[in-house]
Amino acid sequence: MQKEIIISGFGGQGVLFAGQVITYAAMDAGKQVTWIPSYGPEMRGGTANCTVVIADQEIGSPLVQNPPLAIALNLPSFDKYESLMQAGGTLVVNQSMVDRGAKRADIHTIFVPANEIAEEIGDKRLTNMVTVGALIAALPEVTLEGVEAALKGHLPARHQHLLPKNYEALRRGYEAAKKQLAVAV
C-alpha cells in the first residue's frame, strides 16, 4: 500500500501543518512516511503546498505528480490539482474559497464549507483541520482518533489548550465528507 497526498493553498492557511499532522498520525500508526513542504518567498498569501506519502514499505520516491488524494484550500489549488488527480481519486475542496463546481466526473470531489465551519467553532485558523478531517474520511490508513492523538502528541505545549477546538474541526470535516461519500456510492 502506498497513498500519496497533496495539500495546497495560500500561505497562512495551515497547509504545511495539515500535512505534518497527517504525517505524524501515519508515523505513529507504524507506517513509512515522507512530508515535503513547498512554498513561495511570501509568508502569507503566496502559494504553499506539501506532499505526504504513506506506505507499508520503504518509500522509493517522495515526489507526487498525479495524486490519488488531495486537499485544495483555495481556487488556484483546485484549478491546478483537479486536472492532475488520478482517476478514482478523492479531492477535498474548501468550498468557502471556490466559486465553481467540479469539471471531472471520474474523481470524487468533496466540497466542504471549511471557513464557515471553522468560524462556527470560533477560530478561522481551524479551516485546515476541517479539511484534514474530510480527507481522513477517504483515507482508511489514518484514523480520526490517530490524527487526534498526533495533534495531542506533537502540538507544542503552548498550543495544547486549542486541542478541543481542533478535535471538533476534525470531526465536523469528517462528518461532512462521510455524508457526501455515502451519497456518491
Give per-residue pLDDT as tens, 8-49. 998 878 889 999 999 999 999 999 999 988 876 655 567 788
48 class by beta-carbon count within 10 Å (0-12 exposed, 13-18 middle, 19+ buried): buried
Mean pLDDT of 73-80: 93
Look up the pTM and report it: 0.89
Residue 100 has pLDDT above 70, yes or no: yes
pLDDT at site 129: 94
Q: What is the CATH number of the domain that holds 78?
A: 3.40.920.10
In tens, the pLDDT along 104-163 reads 999 999 999 999 999 999 999 999 999 999 999 988 889 999 999 999 998 888 988 889
Q: What is the C-alpha separation between 154 and 172, in angstroms, rounded? A: 21
62, 51 Cβ separation under 8 angstroms: yes
Name the residue with cell 486536472: 83
Describe the chain by its helix, strand, coil percentages, rounded to 5. Answer: 45, 20, 30
pLDDT at site 43: 56
DSSP character at residue 100: S
pLDDT at site 77: 92
Q: Give the amino acid at 137.
A: A
Count how many domains the chain has: 1
Nearest alpha carbon to residue 6 among 61, 73, 70: 70
Domain that holds residue 121: 2-184
pLDDT bin (cut points 50, 70, 90) of residue 85 is very high
pLDDT at site 184: 56
Q: What is the dihedral of CA 139, 124, 43, 167, to 10 degrees?
A: -40
pLDDT at site 175: 93
Nearest alpha carbon to residue 78 among 180, 177, 10: 10
In tens, the pLDDT along 39-63 reads 766 555 677 889 999 999 888 877 8
153, 99 Cβ separation under 8 angstroms: no
Q: What is the C-alpha separation between 51 and 20, in angstroms, rounded? A: 10
Q: What is the C-alpha separation between 80 and 75, in angstroms, rounded? A: 9
